[in-house]
């Protein structure tokens, strides 16, 4: 008997949604002669040679331990932080405690209670100490509970140890331990010149005000310095000031011998990147190793990588030839050779195999939709494909044992995992085959392909999710899901092509859901992305328009008179823009939408649009308030009132202009949420969106 889904079962946040995720090994790591992973809510260690289980810990057993510490049960394993020199010891952070766990003996060997305001934990195994932030300060916490102040400022606008530049330029954290743990580098961010922006919390009877610092395009921005704290000497210094006060500092890297700190310094215009080397002893600039200028923009995102932990040479990632590739330099910045090349991208440098003298990396070498593992010999330069199967591969490797674990999936394969040879990719042993979690259910039909405009123009990848059974006598309404911004790729060769709860919800209700990755999207090279420069929504609108016309011409089951568009964040901007600038869509839903790029953060906006005074036409063309008078269909704007990314002001300003323009716009607010609605209330959001389309399409 075929089972039918309820309307909510697939939506993330629904308590039953996780059971539809494919089973696959997670958090895989190697240690000595074993590998450890999580599968089916069991943490296991297996012998590499035989595959036999050495020890295992179930989620039930972990929860029994947590109950003894008065901690609520978990529904899944938390993130595991392994101890480098111990095969079965790790630490986890659960609620307000850090717990050190002996997995083999199934007991906590140490528990540290942490305060609610303590955040951004970064553990140094060599010294047995955590770096963490509290409010605007940076501190160290030893395993025995001793606290040391690294840096604190009386002015709350000066912070330490937190991610800088609003997490652009590949910045994900604010602390960087040296290899031996004797020193800690950290960001010091001075935002005293940045405008305060108010967020209002309405959960209490008397609303409270939270002020954040928000550097808008063209306005004063952060001033960032890099501090270095010597743990043994209890000494603090700061690297020499950057060339510009509002420069961006990223790609923070330590030399293996801890004598030097490297960073990429980017001017505020984001048109020149300088890779610099500093002394870790006195903070002085030793040398500008090389510069990467670009007349449009440059965006360094990856730290230097030292193969074999040798301070004499390093690998640098760059899109200087149009695609992200690997370049080899010596320690003084002398260029040695380009290691990878072609119309494809290195997506992740996973490490160095010293035994075979090769770098290991994931790439789009076979297709922009794939992630295939490759190796490149550091001296000979030959590239080998280690996972030739189409799909998205994730790996962990053991240089000592000359093997790696490959976990991959495709549109039609939920998941496979193998133990493979690091020399040539040969499969040594099958580890796990994921069963289809949708077995027995009536599922929508998923189709992917390529839209070709002409021989001389770019290709567009698409996905269609539609009802399983299509009646030849019936036309079906279409909802076009849009994003279109940099760093995001919607179409990939992964399980069900990344189809999520919204798609199932809509297809189950009789809709056709359509996606493409237009110009501006990720992993198609720099030229494909930078087509949006100076007019951030124009190229996508052209591609979206062409794709819709293609859909009407090639899919006779769609109803061109019942077409809607939906997107969030950058996608909310695109959905609103398409409603106001084209006549393709009768209904639109835009969540967390950028309305005026002059209101958006400087780091992101200036990369693609420069500052408003230098690109007045581009900002004017993408200020959607200027086009509200064109609205003909039904538009629902949704926003979260505590959004620190796309400020509530965006859609409120469009709402005000709609009122003065005598245009009717629908509006809904999610109180207390930030940039999106997550958790159990996401079900409400998805039903809200569906209901809006139901009533109007």
DSSP 645: S
414 close to 22: Cβ distance less than 8 angstroms: yes
Q: What is the dihedral of CA 590, 591, 592, 594, to 10 degrees?
A: -10
As a whole number of angstroms, the distance between CA 213 and CA 194 comes to 6
Please report the sign of the dihedral spanned by the C-alpha atoms of residue 24, residue 29, residue 31, residue 33: positive
As a whole number of angstroms, the distance between CA 74 and CA 58 comes to 12
209 close to 198: Cβ distance less than 8 angstroms: yes
DSSP secondary structure, 88-154, as one string? TEEEEEETTEEEEEETTTTEEEEEEE--TTEEEEEEETTTTEEEEEETTEEEEEETT--EEEEE--S
For residue 689, give every residue at least 6 positions away whose Cβ sits within 8 Å of its Cβ, in sequence order, or none: 502, 566, 589, 636, 638
Angle between helices 501-508 and 682-696 (to 10 degrees): 40
As a whole number of angstroms, the distance between CA 588 and CA 566 comes to 6
Q: Strands 34-39 and 147-151, how do they pair?
A: unpaired
337 close to 328: Cβ distance less than 8 angstroms: yes
Strand partners, 567: 590
As a whole number of angstroms, the distance between CA 181 and CA 232 comes to 10
Residue 81 is a catalytic residue: no
Among 346, 401, 566, CA closest to 48: 401
338 close to 326: Cβ distance less than 8 angstroms: yes
Residue position matching structure tokens 């990755």: 517
Output the CA angle 311-312-315, nearest 5 degrees: 85
DSSP secondary structure, 213-257, as one string? E--BTTS---EEEEEEEETTTTEEEEPPPPSSTT-EEEEEEE-TT
What 3-state class would DSSP assign to 17? helix
Helix, strand, coil percentages (3-state) for the chain, rounded to 5, are: 20, 40, 45
DSSP 82: E
Structure tokens at 616: 């007045």
As a whole number of angstroms, the distance between CA 241 and CA 247 comes to 10
Give the length of the chain.
Answer: 697
DSSP 201: E
Q: Which of 17, 675, 684, 694 is catalytic?
A: 675
Q: Which of 406, 517, 596, 643 is catalytic?
A: 643
488 close to 673: Cβ distance less than 8 angstroms: no
CA distances from 167 to 171, 220, 223, 301, 302 (A): 5, 17, 14, 11, 13
Q: Which of 280, 569, 577, 634 is catalytic?
A: 569
Name the residues annotated as catalytic: 569, 643, 675
């Amino acid at each position: 008997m075929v089972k039918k889904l309820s309307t909510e079962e697939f939506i993330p946040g629904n308590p039953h949604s996780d059971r539809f995720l494919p089973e696959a090994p997670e958090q895989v790591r190697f240690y000595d002669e074993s590998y450890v992973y999580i599968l089916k809510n069991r943490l296991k260690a297996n012998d590499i040679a035989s595959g036999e289980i050495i020890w295992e810990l179930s989620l039930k057993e972990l929860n029994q331990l947590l109950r003894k510490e008065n901690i609520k049960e978990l529904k899944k394993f938390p993130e595991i932080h392994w101890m480098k020199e111990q095969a079965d010891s790790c630490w986890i952070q659960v609620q307000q405690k850090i717990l050190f766990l002996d997995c083999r003996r199934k007991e906590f060997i140490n528990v540290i209670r942490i305060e609610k305001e303590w955040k951004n934990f970064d553990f140094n195994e060599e010294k047995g100490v955590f770096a963490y932030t509290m409010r605007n300060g940076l501190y160290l916490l030893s395993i025995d509970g001793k606290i040391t102040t690294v840096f604190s400022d009386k002015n709350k606008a000066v912070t330490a140890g937190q991610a800088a530049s609003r997490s652009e330029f590949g910045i994900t954290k604010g602390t960087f331990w040296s290899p031996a743990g004797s020193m800690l580098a950290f960001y010091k961010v001075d935002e005293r010149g940045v405008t305060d922006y108010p967020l209002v919390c309405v959960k209490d009877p008397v609303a409270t005000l939270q002020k954040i610092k928000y550097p808008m395009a063209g306005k004063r921005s952060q001033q960032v310095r890099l501090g270095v704290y010597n743990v043994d000497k209890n000494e603090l210094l700061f690297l020499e000031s950057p060339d510009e006060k509002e420069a961006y500092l990223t790609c923070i890297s330590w030399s293996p011998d801890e004598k030097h700190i490297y960073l990429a310094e980017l001017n505020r215009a984001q048109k020149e990147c300088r890779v610099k080397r500093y002394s870790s002893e006195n903070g002085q600039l030793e040398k500008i190793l090389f510069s990467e200028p670009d007349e449009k923009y440059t965006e360094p995102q990856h730290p230097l990588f030292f193969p074999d932990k040798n301070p004499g040479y390093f690998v640098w990632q760059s899109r200087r030839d149009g695609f992200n590739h690997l370049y080899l330099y010596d320690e003084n910045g002398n260029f040695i050779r380009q290691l990878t090349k072609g119309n494809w991208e290195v997506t992740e440098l996973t490490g160095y195999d010293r035994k075979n003298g090769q770098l290991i990396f994931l790439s789009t070498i076979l297709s922009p939709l794939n992630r295939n593992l490759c190796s490149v010999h550091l001296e000979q330069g030959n590239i080998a494909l280690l996972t030739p199967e189409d799909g998205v591969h994730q790996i962990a490797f053991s240089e000592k044992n000359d093997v790696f674990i490959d976990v991959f999936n495709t549109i039609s394969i939920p998941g496979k995992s193998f133990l493979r040879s690091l020399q040539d990719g040969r499969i040594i042993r099958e580890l796990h085959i994921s069963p289809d979690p949708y077995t027995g259910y009536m599922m929508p039909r998923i189709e992917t392909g390529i839209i070709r405009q002409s021989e001389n123009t770019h290709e567009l990848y698409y996905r269609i999710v539609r009802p399983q059974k299509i009646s030849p006598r019936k036309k079906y309404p279409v909802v076009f899901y849009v994003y279109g911004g940099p760093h995001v790729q919607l179409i990939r060769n992964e399980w069900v092509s990344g189809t999520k709860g919204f798609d199932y919800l809509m297809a189950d209700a009789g809709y056709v859901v359509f996606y493409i990755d237009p110009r501006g999207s990720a992993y198609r090279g720099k030229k494909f992305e930078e087509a949006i420069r100076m007019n951030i929504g124009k190229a996508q609108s052209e591609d979206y328009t062409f794709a819709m016309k293609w859909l009407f011409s090639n899919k006779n089951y769609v109803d061109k008179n019942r077409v809607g568009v939906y997107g969030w964040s950058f996608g909310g901007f695109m959905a609103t823009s398409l409603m106001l600038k084209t006549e393709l869509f009768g209904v639109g839903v835009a969540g967390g939408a950028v309305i005026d790029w002059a209101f958006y953060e400087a780091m992101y906006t200036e990369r693609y649009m420069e500052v408003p005074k230098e690109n007045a036409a581009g900002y004017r063309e993408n200020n959607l308030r200027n086009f509200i008078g064109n609205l003909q269909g039904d538009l629902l704007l949704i926003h979260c009132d505590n959004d620190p990314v796309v400020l509530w002001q965006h859609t409120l300003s469009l709402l005000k202009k709609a009122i003065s323009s005598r245009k009717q716009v629908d509006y809904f607010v999610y109180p207390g949420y930030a940039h999106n609605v997550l958790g159990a209330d996401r079900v409400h959001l998805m039903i809200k969106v569906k209901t809006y389309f139901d009533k109007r399409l």
